[in-house]
Amino acid sequence: MNRWKVAFFFLIALIITVFVVFIFWISSPSEKTHIREPKVASEGNVLTLKTTKVDFEGIANTYMREAMEGQPMPVTINVEDQILISTEMTIFSFKLPVIMKFEPFVEPNGNLRLVQTEVEVGRQEILPEVVLMLLKDSVSLPEWMIVRPQENDVYIDLSRIPMKSNVEVRAKEFNLKQDEIILEILIPSK
């Protein structure tokens, strides 16, 4: 084969190689920029929210007000060193103030279990189970608030609270003594 033909094919191969390397080099990301695939969780993405007792009280009462609209027995929630649920009971046309005190516990599934520690019904001494039974029978509570008199608690199923855009809320930490409440907001992936 002619020396010029070999040089010509070698030059063509060199030009093609340089062109391919240049295209590859220009289209690859720089070493400084690390682009990764976006994370898409199987159930969604989680946003962690840290709030205080005052803010949580406002959120809880807003959802209770929406759920209890039109009910004859209003229920309010106060958050202090314990969670207080206040209401009124009408017995023989007498209105008695009822204050139930609860200690909150975060369940492994992110829901809240409020264990009753004390009950105040006017000046009367009434068993906590009786007050919880009366609350369960006389008030149409939202489906996400489950009163369990036998266990002396109220179970708050946070996953069943109706939220916009199918967002779910889970409790992560509930430390009232240090005024630290941490919630996780699960934003579902589409």
Which of 129, 152, 131 has its CA nearest to residue 86? Answer: 131
pTM above 0.95, yes or no: no
> Which among 168, 171, 172, 183 is positioned nearest to 41, based on CA atoms?
168
The domain locations on the chain are: 45-187
Mean pLDDT of 146-175: 84
pLDDT band at 61 (very low <50, low <70, confident <90, very high): confident
Per-residue pLDDT tens over the stretch 122-137: 766 677 787 788 777 7
How does pLDDT run across 17-57, given as a tens digit for each residue?
888 877 766 666 555 444 444 444 456 788 888 888 888 88
Dihedral of alpha carbons 115, 172, 184, 78, sign: positive
